[in-house]
Amino acid sequence: MGVVHKCPRCGENKHWRVRRGKLKCSSCRREWQPGRLPLSLTRTEWRRVAHLFVLGLSTKQVAEEAGLERKRVLRALSTIRKALLLDPPEAFSGIVEVDETYVGGKRRNQRRAARAVKVKHGRGTMKAAVFGIRCRSGQVWAEVVPDLDANTLMASIRAHVAAGSVVCSDELRSYTGVAAQGYVHRLVRHCDGQYSDGRGTHINGLEGFWGYLKRRLVSRGGIRRERLPLFLNEYVWRYNHRKESIANQEKWVLRLLEKEAQNRS
């Protein structure tokens, strides 16, 4: 059975071939070329946008530097952030850190309706819950989670941490069953003012990533809640590739974009 090509605009898989190897959708009449980067940007334009993205420029700055319409740049950057999902870190092993945090705007920057609601800190807050895992090699994985219940966190740990690994966590009750899942569980007792036991039991690396993440989110001036997973994934990717050169990061982005285009086609 041949490869099924779907229209990148409407998802329809019925099409016919037209000039220069392109396909034309039978539903929305969109023409595209399988395996090529989307949005009809030229390869030179994509390379330029990828370079500016790696540099961390804002949408406005990318549009100005690349000489492209802002709407096209917005769509291009969203496509890049989705493509980064195709580069997850490998399963962690050895000593890993797990931790949770809440992400959301400052109260003074919220809408009036949101400010009128009584503030609740910790569990029950209106902020988005984020769960993360960090290997001592420096690689991080994180995602927005619906809650911090034991079932939710344990499922993520099992999916991303190899059995038999040492898992360091704080005293959150949701981590109580970590040892029963086949891991060595070590606790950091923050309630007693402990941040390291002197034997390598700590979650300082992951807490450092939370600080990095929140600084980057604040610098953007606010992000809609539904778009938070995309930006979270972007900063996880940037953190994991932080030691690579700009040129290598750009190559990674272009490679992932081509992979994304092949998946969509």
Give residue-wise pLDDT tens across range 118-145: 444 445 467 899 999 999 989 999 999 9
In this structure, of 12-26, 79-93, 106-120, 207-221, the range with the lowest mean pLDDT score is 106-120
Confidence band for 38, pLDDT divided at 50, 70 and 90:
low
C-beta contacts of 214-219 below 8 A and 24+ residues apart: 214/103, 217/103
Confidence band for 62, pLDDT divided at 50, 70 and 90:
very high
pLDDT of residue 77 exceeding 70: yes
pTM: 0.78
In this structure, of 54-63, 86-95, 129-138, 192-201, the range with the lowest mean pLDDT score is 192-201
Superfamily of domain 95-222, CATH level 4: Ribonuclease H-like superfamily/Ribonuclease H (3.30.420.10)
Confidence band for 109, pLDDT divided at 50, 70 and 90:
very low
* Beta-carbon count within 10 A of 94 CB: 12
The residue type of 209 is F
Q: Do the Cβ atoms of 181 and 199 come closer than 8 Å?
A: no
Q: For residue 262, what pLDDT is reported?
A: 73
In what helix (H) or strand (E) does residue 125 lie, and over which residues does it extend?
none
Q: How far apart are CA 185 and CA 201, in angstroms?
A: 10
